[in-house]
Structure 1
């Protein structure tokens, strides 16, 4: 079976499995992310969920598993009265702390490049069936239209930007870094970076995946292309990551704001707490043969930091 991010994996899973989608929406200076998914623990106990995160707070909505409906052909997820798809979302969530209602449409999605060698961001690892966690990027950026009422406040998303990714498998990595940004000084730049400790056939390695899109040109940095992290340094509240691939060097400097709590999977169960900053700032620099080809400041970047990556202390 080709394990790419173009397909759903929930069907047929009975225990120790999760699948989640990450829909990010930003407008003005605000970021709102919606994370629908399914959790099946070691005993087969399952439930659907929708997590919500903004700069101000995070929330977890739990649903009976039977309220999750997946339409593979339409690439559509329904949880209760909520619908998530590649063309937009419809939201109807209510708790004591948060009420959200409305619908958003997505336009002009920017997918990543695909090939037989790299059918997804995971490259040839996409073809393996025993990985702990699979990652997929569905849209590096797109424009948004629509209106959402958030705790009685109407938010018009016209002119906003979006991003979609997903994860599935048994557990999140024990240690990882994740950065995503599509709000740079130049309007046509989109960026994603992740590095994680990857269990593999009884051993483990540090895996790297990174995409930089400038207009219609894509740069891909990844373990499966020979890319590697050379240094990670912390200076007060800033984390600097250096990576190299052949004649190209990338420096990511990110402000490590304390994020809000999110629930994450461990053996399928959403029992682990991680923290995500929904909106922070970053600096991205790319050099080729020692010559600087890009230096851009990014705003409204998403950032997660969990543990220490193997081989580095920061």
Structure 2
């Protein structure tokens, strides 16, 4: 196990016919060094968290294979068997080939071992086919899509915005953006990373590439990098509580809108690259407490 406090989790999103379900398997240890494991489940109807003994976890990061209890999350797909007082999920989903980034989303910041939170993109977009039965209701994944990312460190940022959307229709692809307060060497700065996979082309924007945030609020973010502009606007939401790490312990509650109406606009100079409003986007926004 890693030195504590520490957390590591994977966000596996599945989408088909306006339905969305995401799983977050994670391991975590607070300042006392007591290791725990959990799987959080998020749908358009709610969120749940199920705990597992660490002894029932097997993690192979190199080959992307996480086994937690009777649940398996891998590059080939997922097999789920979750039973709790409030939630029962059974079924499997098979994955197509992953769409990977050619370079680490963190850029040179990946070399800093002391960041409070690191981020990685496992797959921007892949096929997802199968059936999951949730509390007796079957969700058919026909021509479904998936997205996977990961976070690790000891704490989520005190202030951040994150969004992800699997684009369908004329502008097929996938987009993710994160903007967060990053403490570094006794100070902090508001940094950003984003990747947009549109029409087979990958667009990257990041602080280490010269991107800067020109506007930021709980519902809107504007990023500029040279001639590139990205604007994300949240138009509606229905949010649910999720557990997030604070010094390794999953004791912090954040709010995520898993099926949210969001508009994404991207320009390269005067050329419009993307302009789409999607009702199935995911969106999180956490503002720091002001004194």
Common fold, TM-score beyond 0.5?
yes
- 8 Å contact from structure 1 (residues 183, 300) kept in 2: no
Aligned in 2, Cα 1:33/1:60: closer, same or farther, shift over 3 Å?
same
The answer to whether the aligner puts 1:291 opposite 2:271 as a matched pair is yes
The answer to whether the aligner puts 1:241 opposite 2:221 as a matched pair is yes
> Within 5 A, what are the aligned runs for 1:1-314?
12-114=1-103, 120-233=104-217, 239-308=219-288
The one-character-per-residue Cα deviations of 1:153-181 (angstroms, maximum 9, x if unpaired) are 22221211111000000100000000100
Taking the aligned partners of 2:142 and 2:171, their CA distance within structure 1 comes to 16
The one-character-per-residue Cα deviations of 1:190-236 (angstroms, maximum 9, x if unpaired) are 100000000111111111001111122111010000001101356xx
The answer for unaligned runs of 5 or more in structure 1 is: 1-11, 115-119
- Structure with more of its chain in strand, by fraction: 2
Taking the aligned partners of 2:36 and 2:220, their CA distance within structure 1 comes to 38
The answer for unaligned runs of 5 or more in structure 2 is: none
Aligned in 2, Cα 1:73/1:112: closer, same or farther, shift over 3 Å?
closer
Deviation at 1:72, TM superposition (A): 4.1
- SS of 1:159's equivalent? strand
Deviation at 1:141, TM superposition (A): 1.0
The one-character-per-residue Cα deviations of 1:114-150 (angstroms, maximum 9, x if unpaired) are 1xxxxx1110001111111000011111111111111
Deviation at 1:259, TM superposition (A): 0.9
Taking the aligned partners of 1:185 and 1:252, their CA distance within structure 2 comes to 18
Taking the aligned partners of 1:269 and 1:180, their CA distance within structure 2 comes to 25
Q: Which segments of structure 1 move beyond 3 Å, counting only runs of 4 or more?
A: none
The Cα RMSD (Å) is 1.7
- SS of 1:66's equivalent? helix
> If the length of structure 1 is used for normalisation, what is the TM-score?
0.88
> If the length of structure 2 is used for normalisation, what is the TM-score?
0.95
